[in-house]
Amino acid sequence: MLHLGEKGAAVQNNPHTTLVTPKAPIATDTHGGRAKCLQRLVRLDLPVPRTVALSFEAVQRIARGEMPDISAIVSQFPDGALLCVRPSSEDPDWGGPGAVLNIGMNADRQADLTERLGAEAAEAIFMRFVQSYAVDVARLDPDMFDDVRPDSAVGLQDSLYAYEAEYEEPFPADPAEQLTAVLKSMARAWDGTTARLLRQAKGAPADAGLGLVVQEMALGLGTGECGSGVLQLVNSDTGLPQITGRYLSQSQGRDALEGDAGAVFLSRDPRGASLEELVPDVFARLCKHASLMRERLREEMQLEFVLENGALHILDGVRVARSSQAAVRIAVRLAEDGIISRAEALMRVQPRTLTELLHRQVSPTARRDVIGRGIAASPGAATGQIVFSAAEAQASASRGEPCILVRRETSPEDIRGMHAAVGVLTERGGITSHAAVIGRGIGLPCVVGASSMRFNRSKKQLVTEGGRVFESGEVITLDGTSGEVLAGAPEMREAALDESFQRLMDWADELRDIDIRANADTPADAQTARNFNAQGIGLCRTEHMFFETGRLTVMREMIFAETSQDRRAVLERLLPMQRADFTQLFRIMQGKPVCIRLFDPPLHEFLPTDRVGQRELAEALDLPLSDVTRRISAMSEYNPMLGLRGVRLGVTVPEIYEMQARAIFEAALDAAVDGVAVVPEIMIPLVSARREVELVKTAIDAVASAVRSERDQDFDFRLGVMVETPRAALRTADIAPYCAFLSFGTNDLTQMTYGLSRDDAGRFMSDYVQQGVFPEDPFHVLDVEGVGELLKIGAGRGREAQPDITLSVCGEHGGNPESISFCRDAGFDYVSCSPFRVPVARLAAAQLAISDKIL
């Protein structure tokens, strides 16, 4: 490279317009990532062409019409050099205007280049510049060059003619004038509404700045080996080491990646020619530079390079684009190679990235009954009942029924419904449609643009191309990886997580300082929780177990029993089933704590609501139908969520809790026979008064004594309370002395604190959020001001009354990174969340601990 340090002093170490030298005042937050990266490459003594960086402020001024000293910039470069200008935003993901190459090209330069490189190369360079200037700078219609013949003197003349005809002015010949126009157009493009909205969607702040870099062109065309290409050391999809990229002789910019037939591989490849064979020494140098960049820039970088008559130039380095799997592998390998610390590797992986990795897929061996196809917009597969609106999706989720949200297309109003659904299917839209973008963002399997299917919202039907009709409530499966829509529920394969993922999770566990458990109701959930290394089960909702076939009728019989004795007799039949459930859970969890919540819902939820079901029940119980209907209507409640449920059942119908306690203790002993010590945790739901706890504790202690003496074996257990009513939160000082733990059920606590039905809030939640009444849906993100204050009061008073007490959150908020931050600050021992959110919670907790240490 030429060193012209003495020229253009105004551009030496000027904070706003500076030559990129090792010591120039350049920072990412003032000049952007590209400028900073180029400075690092210069410091590494890599063959980087001479470059001038313009700061965010300089570019803002340009947008307002205040130009820097253009002649001072131009004077930094050798006379006659061609230049390119590229954007340099703070985060490369925020985008920016496209690069403009070959600035400075005019008839004089053409003559020079014709002499040096030959007429064809000179014409090609000039034509390329005229066309890109016309489109990117003069904002003319690209179609005007459709008929221009490429790579010929005629093509150049046609392009100049088309420009002049359209713009009604001659093509500017003065390099300074050209550069001025390019800088102005790029500065203004950044301020355009579309560009602003696009970058804000990627998380850029409203006032994000744009820097620009002006670089001497290395031409890539001419005599000797000339061309351009890109190289990286990892595969962007897998994250595994692999020299990847392309090189194209006689090309500029990123031409090599544009599917040009002449592009060759980089390393030797059985599929065709390679740069390694063409110029082995250059290839070796490139690889050396790439390794040095990886090591010193502490990141996997993609190099953009040019060969000019055999001489190698490194034009740029950008962070390698990466899939979610690659993101984890790259971070882990960089840490394993000692290039970054483990903590930094953890900070580099977004919790969202893990979510994407964690999804299940349709098993490759499953039979696939394909009923439609669309664009595979967000990976993973999901099975659920069809629902046609966001409100239905929320209602379905609150009933614990997985659903697929089927919409013509989605809009921001559907977001809450999308959160509630397990998958989203749309008739319209492409890979960047709202449904697709949001689906990927939240790791929700999503198929969009399934236009061969008809979505009839008023009839609540989905009609396939072949005329098959699927009604609302029928089960379908979305394969967001292949884009297929399947009937029914094919067998699934759980997310395959590789060694890097496991390693990253191990590091997270070493650094985090709050425990993570899983909410798991079934052995399958418990197995997933184990696979994700949850530190136990924080909430096992036992009521789901009674809905299983063979149990529901027995359950109903128990509900219909007239006397305590009859009830006990029926419960005797449920006992072995519950014992088997718990034994399985304890065995799967291998001695890790399992917190079992005693029966919670109102009993009438188990009774049939329609005539057919009631008749069947009358038959099964051998009762007159009128008896059955009378009893069912007598049990109905005006406000069941605030009615006879939770501990209120434990107090008024104690036989159920006694049976469950017995099943838990016997299962703990049975599981311990296999050599695993089990200390079960028993949790009492919906408590609001001390006396409730006292009564249930007395009953459970009695069952424990009975089991100990019957089995002639001792065991421990821990009794705790689920704090989910505001009164319980306020009265933890009374309650805590009876408890080994308090677990805050933030779903009900949110419902009761706001007086807001968790099942109905979906209908107006978007209005509330849109009008700024709530900053977010408080069932999704913990309301730290109101519900949070109750949590703090409850935790503080509980801990004061009983210093050893274990404190936790087991509502849906337990898996949300912001809520985990709150729980950690409030001194909670653990959070418990759905099994698939466990890795995300482990990572988020580690990131919080690391951030605290950094600050």
824 binds, among ligand PEP, Mg ion, none (CB under 5 to 8 A by kind): none
- CB of 451 or CB of 747, closer to ligand PEP: 747
Question: Considering only 77-85, 464-472, 550-558, 742-750, which stretch makes contact with ligand PEP by CB under 6 A?
Answer: 742-750
Alpha-carbon distance of 64 to 59, in angstroms, equals 9
> Which residue, judged by CB position, is nearest to ligand PEP in the bound state?
745
| CA–CA dist 588, 637 (Å, integer) | 38
Residue 777 binding target from Mg ion, ligand PEP, none, CB below 5 to 8 Å by type = none
Q: Which is nearer to Mg ion, 692 or 724 (CB)?
A: 724
Find the shortest distance in angstroms from Cβ 644 to ligand PEP.
15
* Residue in 317, 351, 538, 745 binding ligand PEP, rule: CB under 6 A: 745
Task: Yes or no: say if 486 and 474 are a contact pair by the CB < 8 Å rule.
Answer: no
Per-residue x/- mask for ligand PEP, residues 587 to 626, rule CB under 6 A? -------------x--------------------------
Say how far apart CA 172 and CA 195 lie, in whole Å: 27
Residues with Cβ < 8 Å from 549, sequence gap 6 or more?
Answer: none
In this structure, which long-range contacts are made by residues 167-174, counting pairs with CB atoms below 8 Å and at least 24 apart in sequence?
167/134, 167/138, 167/140, 171/130, 171/133, 173/106, 173/107, 173/108, 174/106
- For ligand PEP (CB under 6 A), the number of binding residues is 10
CA 73 vs CA 69, 70, 515, 838: distances in Å: 7, 5, 57, 54
Q: Which does 427 bind (CB under 5 to 8 A by kind): ligand PEP, Mg ion, none?
A: none
Shortest distance (Å) from residue 415 CB to Mg ion: 24
C-beta closer to ligand PEP: residue 542 or 583: 542
Find, among 768, 725, 758, 719, the residue nearest to 739 by Cα.
719
Stretch that binds ligand PEP, among 617-625, 702-710, 739-747, 784-792 (CB under 6 A): 739-747
Based on CB atoms, which residue is closest to ligand PEP, 726 or 811?
811
Shortest CB 732 distance to Mg ion, Å: 17
406-445: contacts with Mg ion (CB under 5 A) = none
- The distance of closest approach from Cβ of residue 642 to ligand PEP in the complex, given in angstroms and rounded to an integer, is 12
Which does residue 541 bind out of ligand PEP, Mg ion, none, counting CB within 5 to 8 angstroms by kind?
ligand PEP
Judged by beta carbon distances under 5 to 8 A according to partner kind, the member of Mg ion, ligand PEP, none in contact with residue 249 is: none
CB closer to ligand PEP, 542 vs 821: 542
For residue 736, the 8-state DSSP code is G
DSSP codes joined into one string, 120-170? HHHHHHHHHHHHHIIIIIS---GGGGTTPPSSSHHHHHHHHHHHHHHHSSP
Q: Is residue 58 within 8 Å of 209, Cβ to Cβ?
A: no
Catalytic residue, candidates 37, 446, 739, 810: 810
Structure tokens belonging to residue 581: 């459930």
Cβ proximity to ligand PEP, 104 vs 811, nearer residue: 811
Contacting ligand PEP (CB under 6 A), which of 300, 308, 479, 724? 724
- Closest Cα partner for 513 from 205, 796, 828? 828
Rounded Cα gap, residues 142 and 134, in angstroms: 8
Q: Among the options 359, 434, 604, 813, which is catalytic?
A: 434
Q: Which stretch binds Mg ion (CB under 5 A): 140-148, 211-219, 290-298, 724-732?
A: 724-732
| Partner whose footprint covers residue 556, from ligand PEP, Mg ion, none (CB < 5 to 8 Å by kind) | none
539's contact among ligand PEP, Mg ion, none, with CB below 5 to 8 A by partner kind, is: ligand PEP
Which residues on adjacent β-strands are paired with residue 486?
370, 477
Question: 571, 703 in Cβ contact below 8 A?
Answer: no
* Interaction of residue 539 with ligand PEP, rule CB under 6 A: yes
The window from 86-94, 711-719, 746-754, 819-827 that contacts Mg ion (CB under 5 A) reads 746-754
Local structure of residue 264 (DSSP, 8 states): B
810 binds, among Mg ion, ligand PEP, none (CB under 5 to 8 A by kind): ligand PEP
Hey, which residues between 561 and 620 contact Mg ion (CB under 5 A)?
Answer: none
Tokens of 756: 């807001």
Q: Which stretch binds ligand PEP (CB under 6 A): 194-202, 213-221, 363-371, 741-749?
A: 741-749
Nearest distance from C-beta of residue 708 to Mg ion, angstroms: 31
Between 759 and 767, CB nearer to ligand PEP: 759
Under the binding rule (CB under 5 A), the answer on residue 239 touching Mg ion is no
Tell whether residue 811 is a contact of ligand PEP (CB under 6 A).
Answer: yes
810 lines the binding site for ligand PEP (CB under 6 A) = yes
Q: Tell the smallest beta-carbon distance from residue 405 to ligand PEP (Å).
A: 21
Q: How far is CA 163 from CA 159, 189, 206, in A?
A: 6, 21, 36
C-alpha dist (Å) from residue 642 to 646, 654, 691: 10, 19, 18
Query: Which of 593, 745, 794, 817 contacts Mg ion by CB under 5 A?
Result: 745
Q: What is the DSSP string of 633-675?
A: HHH--SSGGGSS-THHHHHHSHHHHHHHHHHHHHHHHHHHHTT
State yes or no: residue 746 binds ligand PEP (CB under 6 A). Answer: yes
Q: What angle do CA 153, 159, 165 make, to 5 degrees?
A: 135
According to CB under 5 A, which one of 136, 308, 748, 783 is a site residue for Mg ion?
748
- Distances in Å between the Cα of 547 and the Cα atoms of 138, 456, 623, 775, 812 are 69, 32, 22, 37, 22
Closer of 90 and 748 to Mg ion (Cβ)? 748
Contact residue for ligand PEP among 541, 645, 824, 837 (CB under 6 A): 541
Mask: binding to ligand PEP, 755-794, rule CB under 6 A, as x and -?
Answer: ----------------------------------------
Cα(575)–Cα(556) distance, rounded to whole angstroms?
15
Q: Are the C-beta atoms of 703 and 663 separated by less than 8 Å? A: no
If the CB atoms of residues 427 and 748 are measured against ligand PEP, the closer one turns out to be: 748
CB burial of residue 337 (10 Å; 0-12, 13-18, 19+): exposed
From the list Mg ion, ligand PEP, none, which binds 746 (C-beta under 5 to 8 Å, kind-based)? ligand PEP
Judge whether 434 counts as a catalytic residue.
yes
Q: Which range in 142-150, 181-189, 313-321, 720-728 contacts Mg ion by CB under 5 A?
A: 720-728
**Which of ligand PEP, Mg ion, none has residue 109 at its interface (CB below 5 to 8 Å by kind)?**
none
**Least distance in angstroms from the C-beta of 730 to ligand PEP:** 17
Give the nearer residue to ligand PEP in terms of CB position, either 522 or 747: 747
Q: Which is nearer to Mg ion, 104 or 745 (CB)?
A: 745
User: Which stretch in 475-483, 529-537, 606-614, 746-754 sits in contact with ligand PEP by CB under 6 A?
Assistant: 746-754
CA distances for 410 relative to 431, 432, 446, angstroms? 13, 12, 11
The dihedral through the CA atoms of 182, 185, 190, 191 has a sign that is: positive
Q: How near is the Cβ of 92 to ligand PEP at its closest, in Å?
A: 41
Determine, following the binding rule CB under 6 A, whether residue 537 of this chain makes contact with ligand PEP: no
d(CA 629, CA 754): 35
End-to-end CA distance of the chain: 42
Q: In whole angstroms, give the CA distance from residue 330 to residue 294.
A: 11
DSSP annotation of 434: H
Q: What is the total residue count of the chain?
A: 855
Residues facing 833 on adjacent strands? 518
Question: Is residue 810 among the annotated active site residues?
Answer: yes
Enumerate binding residues for ligand PEP (CB under 6 A): 539, 541, 600, 724, 745-748, 810-811
> Annotated catalytic sites, by residue?
434, 810
Q: Give the binding site for Mg ion (CB under 5 A).
A: 724, 745, 748
